[in-house]
Amino acid sequence: MSDTTPSTKKGDGHADVECSAATAAPPSANPVFVDVGYGPEEVIMVAWAPHDPDNPFNWSSARKATTLAVALFISFLSTVMASSVGIMAHWGPEWFHTSHTGYMLSITTYLVAIAFTPLVLAPLSEVFGRNAIYQVTSVIAALLFIPQALSHSLAGLLVSRFFQGIVCSVGNSMVGGTIADLYTAQHRGVAMNVFTLAIYVGQAGGAVFGWVGMRCGIQWCYGIQGLWAALSCVLNAIVLRETRADVILSRRARRLTKQTGVKYLAAADLQHENFWALVSQSATRPLKFLFTEPIVAAVALWIGFSWATIWLGTSSTLLVFGQYGWSPAWQGMSLLINLVGGVLGFASNFHQEWLYQRARRRGGGHAPPEARLYWAAYGGLLFPVGMFIFGWTGQPQFHWAIPATFLALSMWGVYAIYSAVFTYLADAYETYSSSAQAAQSCVRNLFSGLFPLFANTMYKRMGYPKATTTVASVGTLLSAAPVLLIVYGAQLRARSKVASALTKG
């Protein structure tokens, strides 16, 4: 059993106890007086020792990788649950006795729930921990596949999909926070790159599950996803442990208090007023970030439109390749083109990581968050150029490989943007990463949920080339976003209250 080693830090006026994993008798540190809502009390502050094995930053590489893999499986499934529905649009309406638009509402309800739920769950995970939320939500997500597989009711489908979106939102917003818990900024880039690839693999996985539904019946599309979700529950229970450092320290302080009778507190405990005030503060923080933090607002609008085009592209891809006489099953498998773009983006992000590490070395061991955006600037151009050529070559007189190639290039651009947004916000907001990610996730998924509703009508009324040109034109305007952030990002962060405070800290 290790000893608990006290050290007094004069800089902030608090006596901190730097604890190892195990604890013994109460340390001989000088107590300090703090008011935690019940009048001044004598307490001993608990902090991390430099090599504390309980600190997630100090976990072994194998433990970090295993935790990351299980968390990424959650992200993969949350994307599969959305993308598989679009591919089933040929048979879903008949099964649920509804129209095409009615069936596509199941994507909208799912993504709208994903959009708004992180505003509550993500910041709460920063206070109460991530592990419990992962465990509970994964079980609920698996159970909600039962009514989807067995019911023919549209109302039942929409209700179950809405609640499934609520619990699956953790795969979109909270996993980014988990990565920030496990990896310092110096080592975070590769982990975020793998996270983005998992989302793209989920897009392609949706095509596979959709194909199974076409061949074996729509109930199997939902049923097999339910089995995979059940597997996720088992893996979560076996592998996942708490990664939020503040929560781990708070639990340690409570354990020390119980064992010794001496009052211990972690720094995060000083911010706790009462439960409902804490819930209110946590739930409103992402919205405050969205409306008061210029960085979050700018990034949210940028990624919101870019990512929504993937869902718009899901519908347009089926329509465009349908012109080549492909069966509905093969139209759905055309979404594997997105994965090609994802693999290209995954590879290019290693060069982005090299650029970041070079900036860090030149900065004496520190690089600004804007150093994460170099490849996003290229992606901002690849996206509209690829979409424009895809739209005008996606016609029977051109071989299908031509529009497929440029669609992959466009998805490569979106990959670079998506990955950059997560690493940029993680670096800029550090301990509040989940709240910042929840804010951009809200806008991104809201756009993604609405775009598929009008995609079919838009492409048929305007024609495939003109409709895609419209999307590419907006993308061209947004391509300036990463360049402006690289040039003016430091000034923008200086105007962002939280980001500037973290930089000074």
Q: Which residues pair with 445 in a beta bridge?
A: none
Q: What pLDDT, on a 0 to 100 scale, did the predictor assign at position 333?
A: 72
Nearest in space to 85 (alpha carbons), one of 5, 164, 187, 190: 164
Assigned token pair, 201? 């693999």
Assigned token pair, 460? 């048929």
Distance CA 260, CA 463 (A): 74
Q: pLDDT tens, 449-470? A: 787 777 778 888 888 888 888 8
Q: What pLDDT, on a 0 to 100 scale, did the predictor assign at position 10?
A: 36
Residue 435: CB atoms within 10 Å: 31
Q: Which amino acid is at 425?
A: L
Q: Which amino acid is at 94?
A: E
Q: What pLDDT, on a 0 to 100 scale, did the predictor assign at position 287?
A: 85
Q: What pLDDT, on a 0 to 100 scale, did the predictor assign at position 12?
A: 36
Distance CA 342, CA 203 (A): 10
Q: What pLDDT, on a 0 to 100 scale, did the predictor assign at position 502?
A: 61
For the chain (505 residues), the mean pLDDT of every run of 10, in chain order, is 37 42 41 57 83 93 96 93 79 86 88 84 79 95 93 91 93 84 87 89 80 79 92 96 92 90 81 65 81 87 80 71 78 80 93 93 90 94 92 90 92 90 85 80 83 78 86 87 89 77 60
Sequence-distant (6+) residues with CB within 8 A of 217 are none
Q: Which amino acid is at 451?
A: F
Please count the CA atoms within 13 angstroms of the CA of 2 that sit on its side-chain side: 13
Contact 287, 430 (CB under 8 A): no
Q: What pLDDT, on a 0 to 100 scale, did the predictor assign at position 393?
A: 92
Distance CA 417, CA 62 (A): 29
Domain locations in the chain as residue ranges: 5-53+243-272, 56-241+281-444+455-504
The fold adopted by the segment(s) 56-241+281-444+455-504 is Growth Hormone; Chain: A; (1.20.1250)
Q: pLDDT tens, 61-95? A: 999 999 999 999 999 999 888 888 777 777 888 88
Q: What pLDDT, on a 0 to 100 scale, did the predictor assign at position 17?
A: 47
Contact 289, 441 (CB under 8 A): no
Triad 432, 435, 441: Cα angle to 5°: 140
Residues of the chain above pLDDT 90, percent = 33
Q: What pLDDT, on a 0 to 100 scale, did the predictor assign at position 23?
A: 41
Query: How far is CA 428 from each of CA 369, 372, 434, 504, rounded to the nearest angstrom?
Result: 6, 10, 12, 11
The reported pTM is: 0.79
Distance CA 414, CA 421 (A): 11
Q: What pLDDT, on a 0 to 100 scale, did the predictor assign at position 54?
A: 92
Question: Residues of 446-464 as b/e, b for ≥16 C-beta within 10 angstroms?
Answer: bbbbbbbbebbebbeeeeb
Assigned token pair, 331? 């139209």
